[in-house]
A and B are shown apart, each in its own frame.
Chain A
Amino acid sequence: MQVSTPAHRAAWLVLARDLRLALRKPSQCVQPLAFFAIVTTLFPLAISPELSRLREIASGVLWVAALLASLLALEFLFRDDAHDGTLEQYAISGQSLTWLVFAKTAAHWTLTGVPLALMAPLAGAALGVPYEAMPWLIAPIALGTLALSLIGSIGAALTLGVKRGGVLLTLLTLPLAVPVLIFGAQATDLAIRGASFVAPLYLLGAMAVLAVTLAPLAAAAAVRMSLE
């Protein structure tokens, strides 16, 4: 006998629950976004208001800020659910934990990655990104943060049992996040110069697909381990 709710419906419920919780308590999701906005607007003040110089470093600044902002948010991915026993209930619900973990990560990306990607053109404006390149900033950051959320979900699950595991989580996740940073920054840089950026974008897409297929499996296994 299996549970009667199909896996996709259960995953949808988990996603809906996390989004609703975020609406009820928005402060946790606003924090990484505020961090992103602050970092990207401080650079012009610290370096020089000269747009041509800022344009040179714009893609690097956007990506490092997006990477750090999404790492900052990762710590909260499973923590509350582990604390109140919800994660335990997921593990013994008879549903595939992989699907439920994937749904949680998808909710996390919707709440951090998507707003970061949508903010990128605005932040780009402060960094001298030409007007016509602005819409092209969204896709690379959206794809990149998707991969980052998924890669980070493994680290977040592994460090659940560790008190103040934030530093460990960053150390675990950063090396895996570097390829995303490299190709993402390259895609954004090419977009800002008005060149074709499909090649690095395809690579980002490939990384996101790889993360979608493999990361939830690893994260679910790590969640089970941390519940012991």
Chain B
Amino acid sequence: MTLSLRGECLDLWRGEHHVLAGLDLAVDAGELLLVTGANGSGKTTLLRALCGLLHLEEGQVLWQGRNVREDLPAYHAQLVYLGHAPPLKGDLTAHENLRFWVGIRRDVRREEISAALERVGATGWSERPVRTLSAGQKRRVALAGVSLCDASLWLLDEPTTNLDGDGQRLVGSLVDERLSSGGIVIAAVHQDLPVSRARSRRLELTCR
């Protein structure tokens, strides 16, 4: 079954700000949607609304043609969201963090975690407490977590923050792989992701 995510007339207020006003979007399997816009234009709000973390005032999010509110757990089982801050515990090692984070979603073997960590370049520091790592290293660990979650819909909030050139290419290749296996990726970004252009589209949000 091919995947599709639709947003219809998304309408959302945050306090005094009318952040999303009747926004429509459509993404299909194998497509990357880049959400761009100035700071404060509502990129994070849109991603959180698509996750079902924020309640929409009006409109609906459709996954496979069905309103996601009808069965949130089933929808959540297929998505992974990575926010500004990597959801990692400073006192646990990268390995432990991923075991707990991914483990509550699916059974994950030690070797799988090691392989994913190796893929993101975490060689030599995967057994150190995360609080001793740099911001870029934490981001890499979080990306390893995202790729381990085995979700078909990725919602990434500025995935390349704190990453060096090599790290940005890594994000590009992870996203590319997800797309070519028929997944959907929505990323809030300030600069382009290094992925093959043909499949990517843009959604520009404006400040209100």
A interface residues, Cβ below 8 angstroms from B? 1-5, 9-10, 13-14, 16-17, 20-21, 24-25, 84-86, 88-96, 100, 227-228
Indicate whether A88 sits within 8 Å of B104 (C-beta atoms), given known contacts A2-B73, A17-B92, A24-B92. Answer: no
CA A87 to CA B187, docked complex, whole Å? 21
User: In the complex, which of the residues B53, B77, B88, B101 has the most CB atoms of chain A within 10 Å of its own CB atom?
Assistant: B77
Partner of B73, one of A20, A24, A84, A95: A95
CB-based contact B104/A13 at 8 Å: yes
Q: Which bracket fits the contact residues of B?
A: 20 to 34
> Which residues of B are found within 8 Å of A16, using beta-carbon distances?
100
CB-based contact A84/B52 at 8 Å: no
Q: Is B79 an interface residue (CB 8 A)?
A: yes
CA A9 to CA B104, docked complex, whole Å? 7
CA A176 to CA B54, docked complex, whole Å? 30
CB-based contact B73/A94 at 8 Å: yes
Majority DSSP secondary structure for residues of B touching A: loop
CB-based contact B51/A92 at 8 Å: yes
* Closest B residue by C-beta to A24: B91
CA A104 to CA B103, docked complex, whole Å? 16
Q: Mark B96-108, 1 if CB is under 8 A from A, else 0.
A: 1001110111110
> Which residues of A are found within 8 Å of B101, using beta-carbon distances?
86, 89
Q: List 22 A-B contacts (CB under 8 A).
A: A2-B73, A3-B104, A3-B106, A5-B103, A9-B103, A10-B103, A16-B100, A24-B91, A24-B92, A84-B85, A84-B87, A84-B90, A85-B86, A85-B87, A86-B87, A86-B101, A89-B87, A91-B53, A92-B76, A94-B76, A94-B105, A100-B104
